[in-house]
A and B are shown apart, each in its own frame.
Chain A
Amino acid sequence: MAGDETLFTEAGLRRQITFEGLDYDEFVRCMTDQRTAPIVRASLAEGESRGVTGTPWVFVNNQQVDPTFEAIEAAVEAALEAGQ
């Protein structure tokens, strides 16, 4: 990201979107019509209220765990034992 400062220009986006095999005009329509903006803003607000400061960020039964398979597995096992 830091190496390509032109990525978030219109030309850079067009180049990248086309490279990914997507329709650039449809991409711009989705980006500008704001249809999903409320969902994104709500998710952002929920993350901020939970103290999320970065991604990926994982909670298991409202307890933050490292976003690794081993940590999540251990948290799930612990939750299952606590529930029995």
Chain B
Amino acid sequence: MPPSAFGISPRGRGGRGEWRDTLASMRLLTGALLLLACLAAACGSGDEAVRDTATATSERAERPATITQQQQTQPRQTTVQDTTAQEVDQPAEPQSEPQADQLPADDVGVHKGLRSERHVLGEPDAPVEIRYFGDFT
């Protein structure tokens, strides 16, 4: 076949074909690189999201444990910080009612071997004694 039969020499046609192949390969390579970059970016942000979630979860998990430890180590010493933490994370415990032996008494002593309390209202020297017997005294 003569070289001028198609106006393109076999070598020249072959050179253009190689160029086109090279260009197509570069496009494919560029596309693949862009795709990889997008995937890498997506995976990177996903890792951060997972890490944030894990951090938040562990913080929430550690906080009640810390409060519990404080209560165990200091069961009767309630600080302002402890109270604040309990108000946030736990329902407040009902305040204990005053015990009977904590009631105000003007004179507390022993009468006939028994504990005696004399509550004086008004005139201390008033010659009146009221003795009360009830179910719960």
Which residue numbers of A lie inside 8 Å of B, CB to CB?
Answer: 21, 38-39, 42-43, 47, 52, 55-62, 67, 72, 76, 79-80, 82-83
Contact = CB atoms under 8 A, between A and B. Distances in A.
Contact of B137 (A43, A59, A67, A80): A43
Interface residues of B, number: 16
B128 A60 contact: yes
Interface residues of B: mostly helix, strand, loop or mixed?
A: loop
Nearest to B133: A57
A58 B114 contact: no
B127 A72 contact: no
Contacts of A61: 127-129
Given A21-B94, A42-B114, A76 B128 contact: yes
Given A21-B94, A43-B137, A59 B130 contact: yes
